[in-house]
């Protein structure tokens, strides 16, 4: 079934930012580069209350946002026959400093995203997650299981753990589950077969629980905010992070990969 296609266009000058949609991380810029990028957001859709929040911070080496900083977010919907329409646009104010406008160490813009997709995501049925301390051991076990399966090159078993994620992504984007599954298998097989890549070994004391999605999803992160499962090419200094977000399935009561 063809679904409406939504995305954000981000234009950023002279600042860093962290963008969340429905309280889930979408994009994090921390290198101070100027960017102009397009980010699909169908997989972030919820049946009601869709919104974004963007935290703007100074580039590395500065304590306040530059007077030349600017961030623009445009909310776009694709239309038939290759057309598109801008639904709404948001941008930061001027950061020019004067007597009435002191320099800022951070700023925030947010807004509603009026999306409409017929498919109801499985994620929206998840149970609330509250206790990060209790979750840590359970999440670590889930992550470590994926790590071992990747080490053993059991790609089919890894991808089988993603069945609900694939179901949601397919439903929200009007794609075939089998098509997505084959694509994921191909990617993971290329990682485990690449002799230049090695899996980073992480321990429970090096990870932290993060709860997102209005307490519907949780993940583990390391100190710099990256994901703990990571393929490393040490020679070329390349890192391929494997993002895993879990929810509490209301039917099974188990943590399962949902994004």
Helix (H) or strand (E) holding 57: strand 51-57
**0.85 exceeded by pTM:** yes
Token readout for 176 is 């075939």
Q: What is the CA radius of gyration of the chain?
A: 20
One domain, residues 146 and 23: no
Same structural domain, 153 and 202? yes
Strand partners, 246: 218, 257
Could you tell me the CATH number of the domain that includes residue 191? 3.10.450
State which of 112, 139, 174 marks the end of a domain: 112
Q: Is residue 201 part of a domain?
A: yes
Confidence (pLDDT) at 133 = 79
Give yes or no: residues 142 and 100 share one domain.
no
Flag whether 64 is in a domain. Answer: yes
> What residues form DSSP beta bridges with 178?
none
Assigned token pair, 124: 């929206």
* pLDDT value of position 1: 66
Task: Indicate whether 130 and 108 sit together in one domain.
Answer: no
Asked whether residue 184 is assigned to any structural domain, the reply reads: yes
Same structural domain, 85 and 174 = no
- What pLDDT shows up at residue 130? 84
**Residues 103 and 16 grouped into a single domain:** yes
How many domains does the chain divide into?
2
Asked if residue 28 belongs to a domain, the reply is yes
Whether residue 140 sits in one domain with residue 246: yes
Q: Is residue 117 part of a domain?
A: no
> Do 11 and 65 belong together in one domain?
yes
Residue 1, in any domain of the structure: no
Residues 11 and 92 in one domain: yes
149 plus 228 within the same structural domain: yes
- 148 & 229 share domain: yes
Q: Which of 80, 112, 144 is at the close of a domain?
A: 112
Last residue of some domain: 81, 112, 143? 112
Domain range spanning residue 236?
A: 122-257
Note the pLDDT of residue 80. 83
Q: Please, is 157 exposed, middle or buried when counting C-beta atoms within 10 Å of its C-beta (0-12, 13-18, 19+)? A: middle
Q: Helices 177-193 and 163-173, interaxial angle, to 10°?
A: 130
70-78 β-sheet, strand order: 35-40, 6-13, 70-78, 84-91
Q: 55 φ, ψ to 5°? A: -105, 120
**216 inside domain:** yes
Check whether residue 108 and residue 152 sit in a common domain.
Answer: no
Per-residue pLDDT of the chain (259 residues; tens, 9 = 90+): 678 999 999 999 999 999 999 999 999 998 888 999 999 999 999 999 999 999 999 999 999 999 999 999 999 999 988 899 999 999 999 999 999 999 999 999 999 999 999 999 999 999 999 877 789 999 999 999 999 999 999 999 999 999 999 999 999 999 999 999 999 999 999 999 999 999 999 999 999 999 999 999 999 999 988 999 999 999 999 999 999 999 999 999 999 999 9
């Amino acid at each position: 079934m063809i679904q409406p296609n939504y995305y954000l266009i981000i234009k950023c000058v002279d600042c860093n930012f962290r963008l969340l949609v429905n309280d889930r991380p979408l994009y994090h810029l921390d290198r101070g580069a100027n960017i102009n990028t397009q980010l699909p957001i169908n997989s972030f859709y919820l049946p009601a209350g869709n919104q974004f929040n963007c935290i703007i911070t100074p580039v590395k080496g500065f304590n306040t946002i530059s007077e030349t900083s600017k961030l623009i977010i445009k909310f776009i919907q694709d239309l038939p026959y290759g057309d598109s329409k801008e639904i709404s646009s948001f941008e930061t104010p001027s950061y020019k400093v004067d007597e009435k406008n002191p320099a800022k160490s951070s700023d925030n813009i947010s807004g509603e995203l009026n999306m409409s997709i017929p498919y109801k995501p499985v994620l929206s049925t998840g149970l609330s997650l509250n206790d990060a301390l209790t979750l840590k051991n359970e999440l670590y076990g889930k992550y470590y299981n994926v790590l071992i399966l990747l080490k053993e090159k059991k790609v089919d078993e890894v991808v089988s753990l993603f069945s609900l994620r694939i179901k949601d992504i397919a439903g929200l984007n009007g794609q075939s589950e089998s098509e997505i599954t084959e694509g994921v298998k191909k990617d993971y097989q290329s990682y485990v077969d690449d002799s230049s890549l090695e899996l980073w070994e992480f321990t429970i004391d090096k990870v932290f629980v993060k709860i997102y999605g209005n307490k519907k999803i949780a993940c583990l992160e390391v100190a710099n905010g990256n994901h703990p499962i990571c393929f490393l090419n040490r020679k070329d200094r390349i890192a391929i992070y494997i993002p895993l977000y879990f929810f509490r399935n209301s039917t099974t009561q188990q943590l399962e990969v949902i994004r």
